[in-house]
Chains A and B, each alone.
Chain A
Amino acid sequence: MDLIRISDLRVAFSTRSEEIRAVDTADLVIRNGDTISLIGESGCGKTVMGMAIMGLLPKNAMISGTIRYGDQDLLSAPDRTMQQIRGKEIAMISQNSANALNPVITVGDQIAEPLLIHHILPADAARREVLRLLSVMGFEDPERAAGQYPHEFSGGMRERILIAMALICNPQLIIADEPTSGLDVQVKSQILQMIQQQIAGTRSLFLITHDMGTASFLSTQIAVMYAGEIVETGATKEVLAMPMHPYTQGLLASLPSAGLRPIPGMSPAPAHLPEGCRFCSRCPAATIRCSTLHPPLKTAGISRQVRCQIYD
């Protein structure tokens, strides 16, 4: 069953002189139990997609299209409805940064907050739930951890706390935006395993990352994004084994394990997108047609889509 159906999503930001198209004609379906990775380089619009689902785009964003969730459209839902959905049905694991947690509130209180805001449990039951979740998250003395402040924890511990905050209301969908950025390799793999155990087929995950390793570990589906567009989708295994879009191929070839061959050039500025294929200027397989004709996302095989002329 479809949990979220994004169709024809466009997000643009207008500045004084120009219009920045952050996301263009994005279509994506997240089914119950799906784990989908949205992969792409910095600035390609992947975080904007996540924020659009959460309804947390800044006020100056111009949004069109629909994001269907159940029988409502998240883009046109009133603020009150969105507040009830956020944290309870769709939760977010935010990027671990120095101020991702409020420095003056104890960790226990912060983890309990979603439960109390949504009136799911009374304060004492919420407290027990927090302690239970903290011990699941690998805290040896949950009682003590709950009473401590964020600055008393390491980066990895803080990430676990952020995960606990996202999980506590038992949401159907979790959006994780670069959940392991800034963590060392050892801690990173622990965190990824923790997320995997918690998702384990019962919840859906929408993972936003630039890291192929993270994506292949956590997700069964992959969507590759380039310059605001989804250029390739498919099952993670298939996409990794046989990338179709030249950008995906370049991305995989640039991995250290594949020989560290970066894609030449830079992605186009989102304010000055080319008329034809957006990857054209960096593409080894580009033809004259590519610079004028903008390719649509086409079905290519079982549950695979690709946005490239060479498969016409």
Chain B
Amino acid sequence: MSRKPILWISLAVLCVFIGIALAAPLIAPLGPTAITGKPLQPPDTRHLLGTNNIGQDIFAQLVFGARITLLFGFFSALFSVLISTSVGIVIGYYGGLVDEIVCRAIDIFMPIPMFVLLIVLTTFFSPQILEVSLLMGFLGSIYGIRIMRSQVLSIARMNYVEGAKAIGASDFHIMYRHILPNVMPLVMVKFVSASQHLLVMGVGLSFIGLWDTSIIDWGTMIQNAYSQGGLALGLWWWILPPGIAVVCVSLSLALIGYSLEETFNPRVGVNRL
């Protein structure tokens, strides 16, 4: 079966969410923090998804929350891919002692579950959202470094790398001009899958309240609905929309990732789903 329609649908869904995040003030003029109605109102024409326990517009929170959640996911993924690509290329190209040290360090980090490590670190340092994002990018890059390194190991033995040395190219030039373009497809695939992974993890972190709860993202929304009686009272318009949004974005990112991987590396099995 061709994966093309799935790729296009996923891209469309993702674009819709990105569009919503960009145009948030236009779509939801009520704003996510202002108290604009009575508490716990069911949906009506003014409050499309009703209001929460203190009378804030849930639809506006969903729309503005997309900004935080998506930005968080993409930024962490960008940082993660940046680290894994640069470190992977450097250790894969030079090898030797540095390679050995980094690989052993990865061996130490690998068995520690990332989410648990994150919970511990954020509890101790109570960081800002940007710092959490960087931390997550860093932890997320650990797996990527390995994959990138193994790819670079095979590329660095290609004759054109030797050829580049023979025309007097510096090591930096070889890594940047000859190795990087050859791992770029992998970098793109890893970026998409890391976005998905880290976005969901970010929602999880904010759901358990491990960063500034005044920043409203989808995780905080679910947490509020859960702890302020939304679930107990069966107010579906409060608890379901952020959850559905997370599932839609995460699923479309995952499917885009699979499609890209299949395009760049046709040997990957076709029937992954």
Q: Is B233 an interface residue (CB 8 A)?
A: no
A90 to chain B, nearest CB (A): 9
**Contact across chains for B170 and A99 when beta carbons are under 8 A apart:** no
Give the A-B contact count at a CB cut-off of 8 A. Answer: 67
Contact of B166 among A94, A99, A104 (CB under 8 A): A94
Chain B interface residue count, CB cutoff 8 Å, equals 18
Q: Is A11 an interface residue (CB 8 A)?
A: no
**Contact across chains for A88 and B182 when beta carbons are under 8 A apart:** no
Q: Is A44 an interface residue (CB 8 A)?
A: no
Q: Is A54 an interface residue (CB 8 A)?
A: yes
**Contact across chains for B169 and A95 when beta carbons are under 8 A apart:** no
**Contact across chains for B168 and A102 when beta carbons are under 8 A apart:** no
Interface-lining segment among A63-71, A79-87, A292-300: A79-87
Q: Is A117 an interface residue (CB 8 A)?
A: yes
A84 to B163, CA, bound (A): 15
Q: Is A118 an interface residue (CB 8 A)?
A: yes
A88 to B166, CA, bound (A): 10
**Contact across chains for A94 and B168 when beta carbons are under 8 A apart:** no
A105 and B177 contact, Cβ closer than 8 Å, known pairs A94-B162, A100-B159: yes
A285 to B273, CA, bound (A): 73
A105 to B170, CA, bound (A): 17
A169 to B169, CA, bound (A): 13
Q: Is B8 an interface residue (CB 8 A)?
A: no
What residues of B have a CB within 8 angstroms of the CB of A102 in the complex?
158, 160, 164, 178, 181-182
A104 to B176, CA, bound (A): 13
**Contact across chains for B166 and A87 when beta carbons are under 8 A apart:** yes
Contact of B168 among A85, A99, A104 (CB under 8 A): A85
> What sequence of 0s and 1s flags, for each residue 36-58 of chain A, a beta carbon within 8 Å of any chain B beta carbon?
00000000000000000010100
Closest to B181 in A: A104
A87 and B167 contact, Cβ closer than 8 Å, known pairs A94-B162, A101-B160, A102-B160: yes
**Contact across chains for A94 and B163 when beta carbons are under 8 A apart:** yes
A103 to chain B, nearest CB (A): 7
Q: Top 4 nearest A-B pairs by Cβ distance?
A: A87-B167, A87-B168, A86-B168, A92-B166
